[in-house]
Every structure is written in C-alpha cells, then in structure tokens.
A and B are shown apart, each in its own frame.
Chain A
Amino acid sequence: MSRVRKAIPGVDTKLLIKDAAKLLPQPSRRLFLRGAASLGALVALTGCDIVNEESAENALRVISRFNDRVQAFMFHPDKLAPTYPESAITRPFPFNAYYSEDEAPEVDRDSYKLEIAGMVDNKTPWTLDQLYALPQVSQITRHICVEGWSAIGKWSGTPLKDFLARIGADTRANYVYFICAEGYSTSIDMPTALHPQTQMTFKFADEILPRKYGFPMKIRMPTKLGFKNPKHVVSLVVTNDFRGGYWEDQGYNWFSGS
C-alpha cells in the first residue's frame, strides 16, 4: 500500500517519512521471527518447521484482522474513557512521533485548509478560523502509547461526531480516514468516530495546539492507542474502503482500541 504524499499548501514537503526507518528493523516488513531463540526451542519441541517467515507473518496478520473484529465487538459506543482532575496532568507531556521534535511538520496557519472527501454532502474545505469558531469542549484523559507508557493530558476541540453531522457525512460508512501534513495517515471505524470523546482537537492544555503536539489540528481518541490519534491532520475522508494507515501497514494492529 502506498501512502498519500501529495504536496499540501503551507507544508514543508521535505519533512517526509525519512526518519521512520530509525524505528524499524532492517528490512522492516519481514523478519518477525529472527532473533528468536525461544522459537528455535519451539520448533524443536513440536518438530514442525513453522519458520517459513512469509506464511507465519501472513498467519499473524490474519489473526490481527480477526482481533480487529473482536475489538469492534468489545467496543461500547457509550462507554467513556476515565477522566482526571487537572492535578493529574502529566507535565511535561511527552513528545512522541516517528520523527524528532525539531522535525515536526510546520503547517502555515493562514494557508491551512482541512480537505473533506468521500461520502460527505458538503466537501468545502475548512479554514482554521472556521474550525476555531466551532463549539469546543475539553477532556482530561489518558493517552496510552502502543509502546506501553501512558500520560494524562488536556485536549480541547469539537466532537468529531458533531462535525460529521455538520458536513453531512454518511455515518453508515465503515471508516473515517485521516491524512496528515507530512504524509502520515490512519483510519478508524465509524463507531469510534462517533464516540462522544472523539475530538477534533485545537488546543492542548488550554493553549493553541503547539507544533510538537500536532498544530493546527489533531484527532484525539481516548479509546484508541496514541498512534491512532493523528496530528497535523489536513484531510478527512469518509469511506467504505479499508485504507489502513502508516503504522498499521507495517504491522500494528489496525483497531488498536483501548
């Protein structure tokens, strides 16, 4: 699957995915079985040679898709993530991305537009001033990283559910797909998109969302792992087509619900 890397006005196009490789093994898309002494013992134990990497990896991906369905079943549309008092906020809130902090995308405030596509009545792009004029709510919730650590932060913005209603999105569609300024992408299931705490976020800790946390807009979902919360979002697509995402295509579980 190829990522969308079209040039977006106001975005430094040099800030592409080059650093992602730092986080990944070489080569990244295979070799899930290497370096596994324990697996050698397993093979000896069972006497069957399952170390055919490609078929083993395919089997793991099939199970991961099965786990997507299990998690969709476990997901309660009305179950709210726990919220916390201001005193519980993690300071400083950790920066985390597949690029270093000084490589975070720089989005120009004035030329920024949120593009709308897919199964939506009104596809007019949104300027930042228009987005800022939307009613905002705050949440203090726990951000849980796929790596295991967690941190509590305060995010403010407009519920995605309300925005989808406003643009006339067909909420019977399966997915909402997000594209970010530097080419990152992710997609989510519609029930999560309609969850009351899923938020188009414009502020972090009551300040305009800083560059490192995703200026000008991120999607905050306390019901999903951190990597499913895209930053610097420039495009929103309502679709029935499964489009995966940046990390998902490399092996992270797609649903990744908390």
Chain B
Amino acid sequence: MTVETSEVHALAIPGADAPIHPLWVRITHWTNAIAIVMMIGSGWQIYDASPLFRFTFPSAITLGEWLGGALLWHFAAMWLLVVNGLVYITLGIATGRFRRKLFPIRPADVWADLVAALRGKLSHADLSVYNAVQKLLYLGIILTGVVIVLSGLSIWKPVQYQELTALFGGYDAARYVHFFAMSTIVGFLVVHITLAAIVPKSLRAMIIGR
C-alpha cells in the first residue's frame, strides 16, 4: 500500500528530478535551527533569573552569561525566528506544500503508523512522503511555534497587547505557556534529531535536497 502510494505520488509530480525538499524549505529549516538554538539557550538563562519550578538550567548550556546578556540574545534572535517563520508558513501555504505533505491526518492512520513505528516496522524508504505520525508531529510543531511566539509577545508586551496576554490567562500564566511550549519544542527536537541520525539520508535530503 505504501509502495503504491509513493509510486502514484512520484508519477504525479512533473519533473522526476524535483528535490525532496525545495531550496526554500532547506534554507528556512536551517535558519530556524540556528534561531531556535539561540532562543532556547538564551531563554534558559532568562528563566534562571526567576525560575518557575524548583530547578534552573546550568550555565554551561545557556546563552548570554547573565540576564542582561541573555535578553539581548533573545530579543535579537526573535527577529530571525519570526521573520524566517513567517516566510516558511507563507510559502508552505502558498505553494500547497503544507496541504500536500501534512494533510489529511486520520486518527486511525496515526495509530496504525505509531504501532508500526514502535515495532520497528515503519518504512521511511520514500522520504518525500510523510507517515501519519510524522504529519501529526510536523503540524504540531508548527502550531507550537505559533504558540511560543504569541505567548512570548504577550510576556514582552502585557500592556500594549493586554488582550493577547488575557487570552493566555494573564501575564503569569503566559510565562508557563511559554515555558511548556519550549519544553514541547525540546521534546520534539530530541525525537527529530534522533530519527535524523538513524536515517542519515533524511539529513542529507535536508541539506542537498535529495
């Protein structure tokens, strides 16, 4: 079934030479990677100034040295993250890539693919087609990106954008939302990077396109 689908898919695309990931996807992917590393590293240092939980991040893995430095990093890298993210989402919608790659997502498929993956029987031979679990994760992480930017904006501007802050349950609640969105992204990265390491050609495809 999977094989048939991918054959149809391959035939449907004019120009068999088309890369698995077009150039704009690869550029925005790696730009985002740089931005997110800077945002998380500096965000951890900012968190340490007033921790929400009974732990802090060791300074060896944070960026910025002290609160003031971390804030400078955070509010510089945010431009990279947001501008790049807007380009990515705009092109993802405009080119139809999101619709093609991420939809439809059927719960039954997600379950079947999850079981198959956990048994080690999920094929990822055709990198141009995402299984249902991948679709769900990629869509989820895009939405998490939207949440982390909006919650960040509501922490940064709780007076000017107080309606947005109220949407997150107020200033203090928005800090927790921002933190949990970060945690979700870090969790995603652990899985994402592990799988990319297990399937090296997927990493190659994200670099050279095929």
Contacts and interface: CB of A to CB of B under 8 A. Distances in A.
A149 B68 CA distance: 15
Q: Identify whether the interface residues of A are mostly helix, strand, loop, or mixed.
A: loop
Interface residues of B, number: 37
A80 B171 CA distance: 15
Interface string A30-70: 01111111110110011000000000010111011001000
Given A60-B73, A147-B50, A35 B59 contact: yes
A63 B41 contact: no
Interface stretch (B19-27, B32-40, B105-113): B32-40
A146 B159 contact: no
Nearest to B72: A60
Contacts of B67: 146-147
B41 A258 contact: no
B46 interface: yes
A1 interface: no
A74 interface: yes
Nearest to A25: B66
A142 interface: yes
Nearest to B40: A38
B159 A36 contact: no
Interface in B125-167: 155, 157-160, 162
A185 B47 CA distance: 26
Given A35-B60, A42-B38, A147-B49, A258 B160 contact: yes
B85 interface: no
Given A60-B72, A63-B72, A251-B68, A75 B60 contact: no
A167 interface: no
A75 B160 contact: yes
Contacts of B59: 35
A61 B72 contact: yes
B65 interface: yes
Interface in A235-258: 247, 250-253, 257-258
Contact of A76 (B34, B37, B69, B160): B160
B197 interface: no
A125 B76 CA distance: 42
Given A36-B41, A38-B61, A38-B63, A251 B159 contact: no
A247 B72 CA distance: 13
A59 B72 CA distance: 10
B37 A41 contact: yes
Interface in A195-245: 222-223
Given A45-B34, A148-B50, A258-B159, A38 B41 contact: yes
A81 interface: yes
Q: Identify whether the interface residues of B are mostly helix, strand, loop, or mixed.
A: helix
B61 A37 contact: yes
A79 interface: yes
Interface string B41-57: 10000110110000000
B103 interface: no
Interface string B173-201: 00100000000000000000000000000
Contact of A63 (B60, B61, B69, B76): B76
B75 A74 contact: no
A229 to B, nearest CB: 13
Contacts of B33: 45
Given A41-B37, A45-B34, A75-B160, 19 more contacts: A32-B73, A35-B62, A36-B64, A37-B61, A39-B38, A42-B37, A45-B30, A45-B33, A60-B76, A63-B75, A64-B72, A74-B160, A76-B160, A79-B162, A145-B50, A148-B50, A148-B175, A223-B159, A247-B68
24 contacts: A31-B69, A32-B66, A33-B63, A33-B65, A36-B62, A38-B37, A38-B62, A38-B63, A39-B41, A42-B34, A45-B30, A45-B34, A60-B69, A63-B72, A63-B75, A74-B160, A148-B49, A149-B50, A247-B68, A251-B71, A253-B75, A258-B158, A258-B159, A258-B160
Interface of A: 23-25, 28, 31-39, 41-42, 45-46, 57, 59-61, 63-64, 67, 74-76, 79-82, 142, 144-150, 222-223, 247, 250-253, 257-258
The 7 closest A-B pairs by CB, nearest first: A32-B69, A251-B68, A148-B50, A38-B41, A147-B49, A60-B72, A147-B50
